Amino acid sequence: MRKVKRLVYLVLTVVFMMSLLAACKKGDVKETSETKQETKDNGEKEENKQETKTENDKHNPVTLTTVSMHGGTDPNAANYQEINKKFMNDYSYITIEDDSQTSDQDWKTKIAADFAVGNEPDVIQFFTDANASDVLAADKFVTIEEIKAEYPDYAKDTLPAALEAAVNPDGVQRAVPTTGFWEGLFCNKDLFDKYNLELPTDWDKMLKAIETFKENDIIPIAVSLNNVPHYWVEFLMLAAAGPEGFTTVPESAPEDWVKGLEMFKTLRDLGAFPVDTDTIDNDFAGELFKNKQAAMQLDGSWYAGGIPDQDNTVVVSFPVIPGGKAEPGFMVGGLSSGFYITKKAWNDPDKRDAAVKFVMAHTCSESVQKYWNGNGTAAAKVEPLADMTPLGISGLNYSSAATSISTPTDARIKQEAYNTLTAGIVDVSTGARTPADLIEEVLQVNAR
């Protein structure tokens, strides 16, 4: 009996040792496989590094002078410097001498003076609108058309509408933008769902929504006509005139502008606005929307973060009014700065290539994603952030799908004229004053 037990024990021991040995061999095989893969990966990395080094060795050393608005406490200052650091690691032959500062009035004056005396940098991030007039007058920038003729991939990630929005006042594209702001029609989607209403993506749906909400004691549109009517001024005139007609400052009241402002009285007569729209302020109007007492509100991208219900709020494109010249998907927004390459850099063969690479590094989708970080308009295609709310995603989809982006009226006319325009909206909405009369006064003030 003992012999049998001893034999069984011996057999089990042998089996155990063989299985352990097999497992060890299997582990050795696995380890060897992983080691081989790691060796292969390291080899590829070393090969890529060597290729990069060889490519960099082909170029002459270049020092690129750069200036941006990402200085001081600018929230994107760290992103800008991070991209610069990676850029110099990727292109070891390029040294960046950067002088980024806060874009205050003193800085703008200094930049204009530098351009006037021939002390401009090789690349600069600067304004694209009327704020750039003095610098543009020096005629020191290369156009995007000229750059793309030699570098077809230049600004390849930038959305066409974004490039168009960053065009200079003379109609020429010189700057490649990264981010900006948008304005859009916020909707409490749960209220629309409650009454089986479609979102107001066309004017008939807008009228149906106004009628239905009015009947159910819900304010259709939250707005303060005496305090902040300008969002409605922008979208109604843009819807009527289209981007070209809206952004051209005429000498006398154009028919399309008049048609747009006439809609204030139409909407008021329909009961679209709060009954006290002439006395409440914009903050109060915002609370009406946030508290679900109102169904819609026109506002900007900065407004989105303060809305409590991020799950049931969406942003949609403003509908084209009857007879309007705008194409669906039009948007009011701003991409008022971008990266320029100066002729000083362009006329130097070594700096030319380095400057192009620098701008492309800052305006590619990956960099725009960093600059954007979920806020406002992205000039290139970006991906939703991991922690982005449904409202944030809605705003991203809305702004990314824009067919045109037009800057607000105050970017084109004098402040006094703009104040005259907004101050006259209550009277226009009640019929106490005609839109044509108001616009004529605005243009006269602007011409002084």
Q: pLDDT averaged over consecutive 10-residue blocks of the chain (448 residues)?
A: 41 43 43 54 55 67 96 89 97 96 87 95 93 91 98 96 91 96 96 98 97 97 94 97 93 95 97 96 94 97 92 97 96 93 96 98 96 91 92 94 90 87 96 97 92
H-run or E-run covering 397: helix 390-400
Comparing CA positions, the residue from 117, 118, 136, 137 lying closest to residue 128 is 136
Question: Is 290 a member of any domain?
Answer: yes
Dig out the tokens for 212 from the structure. 């239905």
Whether 250 is covered by a domain: the verdict is yes
Classify residue 131 as left (phi > 0), alpha (psi -120 to 50) or beta: alpha
- Say whether both 302 and 230 belong to one domain: yes
Q: At 278, which helix (H) or strand (E)?
A: none
* Statement to judge: residues 360 and 278 lie in one domain: no
For residues 341 and 192, membership in a common domain is answered with no
Report the 10 Å Cβ neighbour count for 422: 18
Is 40 contained in some domain?
Answer: no
Tokens of 251: 């000498």
Helix (H, G, I), strand (E, B), or coil: what is residue 3? helix
Tell me, yes or no, whether 82 and 148 share the same domain: yes
Cross-strand pairs, 298: 185
For residues 282 and 349, state if they share a domain. Answer: no
Query: What's the total number of domains in the chain?
Result: 2
pLDDT of 41 reads: 56
Beta strands in 24-69 (DSSP E): 62-67
Asked if the structure places residue 116 within a domain, the reply is: yes
Asked if the structure places residue 197 within a domain, the reply is yes
397: number of CA atoms within 13 Å, CB side? 10
d(CA 77, CA 100): 9
Do 234 and 371 reside in the same domain of the chain?
no
* 88 part of a folded domain: yes
Length of the chain: 448
Specify the pLDDT at position 258: 97
Strands (E), 2-91: 62-67
> In 3-state terms, what secondary structure has residue 51?
helix
Radius of gyration of the chain (CA): 30
The confidence score (pLDDT) of residue 129 equals: 86
Q: Does one domain contain both 156 and 211?
A: no
CA distance 381 to 389: 18
List, in sequence order, the alpha helices (H) in 226-302: 230-247, 255-269, 282-290
The string over 154-166, giving b where at least 16 C-beta atoms fall within 10 Å of a residue's C-beta and e elsewhere, is bbebbbebbbebb
Q: Is there a single domain that holds both residue 324 and residue 206?
A: yes
pLDDT at position 327:
96
Do 79 and 168 sit in the same domain of this protein? yes
In terms of residue numbers, what domain contains 319? Answer: 182-332+409-447
The tokens of 348 are what?
């130097």
Q: What is the pLDDT of residues 373-390, one digit of tens each?
A: 888 889 999 999 999 999
Q: What is the C-alpha separation between 212 and 207, in angstroms, rounded?
A: 9
What pLDDT is recorded for position 26? 42
Q: Specify if 78 maps to a domain.
A: yes
Contacts of 191 (CB under 8 A, 6+ apart): 197, 213, 218, 292, 295
Rounded CA gap, 302 and 286, in Å?
Answer: 13
Question: What pLDDT does residue 46 have?
Answer: 56
- pLDDT, residue 55, reads 61
Question: How far is it, in rounded angstroms, from Cα 305 to Cα 307?
Answer: 6
The β-bridge partners of 313 are: 188
Tokens 């709060």 sit on residue: 274
| Residue 34 confidence (pLDDT) | 52
Q: What is the CATH number of the domain that holds 361?
A: 3.40.190.10
User: Are residue 115 and residue 221 in the same domain, yes or no?
Assistant: no
User: Domain check: are 134 and 260 in the same one?
Assistant: no
Per the domain annotation, does 33 fall within a domain? no
Do 241 and 340 sit in the same domain of this protein?
no
Euclidean distance between the first and final Cα of the chain, in Å? 120
DSSP H or E stretch at residue 412? none
Return d(Cα 12, Cα 375) in angstroms, integer: 68
